[in-house]
Structure 1
């Protein structure tokens, strides 16, 4: 019974942490960004550099891991030993859950340096969508909303 309960908690942890992943590519908008006015600037890509975008670090991963680890640990031994194992399992599970969340939500991205038409040069970092490839010399638009910008290929 405790083994199946541990399995349920582990699967729930994976689903919750996976659900925390957010898309940072040019085609994904949050619900709050929909229908909001954006400022558009145009420019030309001067350089591209691959980067890693670190994963999220919320209490969800560590909390779910701690619960799963505590449940798994409590199934070890009996009495006082079971309580100690539950505490150790919760601590180890919390650390493992946090690491799993960060790893699952980590992404490959690109730093896009753009010479904008106003003469300024700015760099933008974003996740690459699966069907989008930028190239040096390409014309792009920079969409900015509430201080957050994204680079979009000019159609």
Structure 2
């Protein structure tokens, strides 16, 4: 009997990940439907990575692709692990306006390069830590939109 427990555990882990992916997919679609405005922009399949720095020698990397919804006061990032499994959304706000947001985290710093945008936030659940999101391989139109949105809404942030 004990030789079959590992088989069941392995199967249960796969089913759990599958159900979690379905849950996040449905949740992300509901968020997009609820928080999309007339002036919102949406980008799909932006490659990138997330680096969570949780203190001395505690850093986690996550390579994923993002679907992005940009509103007038926030950015919703919907990561997909392994480029197809949906994950928990990230909502970054530009200021103190919390309208059309869900569990927001303040965007503290950003930098824009030739084809990359770097977003830095300090979520509440990371004590003494920060989360850095790298959006890579962006086309010039997407870079221009991020410049327009971020520099107009966050003039005091580091560029």
TM-score higher than 0.5 here?
A: no
User: Which of 1 and 2 has higher RCO (CA within 8 Å, sep 6+)?
Assistant: 1
Rg comparison, structure with higher value: 1
Q: TM-score, normalised by structure 2?
A: 0.28
Greater share of residues in strand? 2
Q: TM-score, normalised by structure 1?
A: 0.28
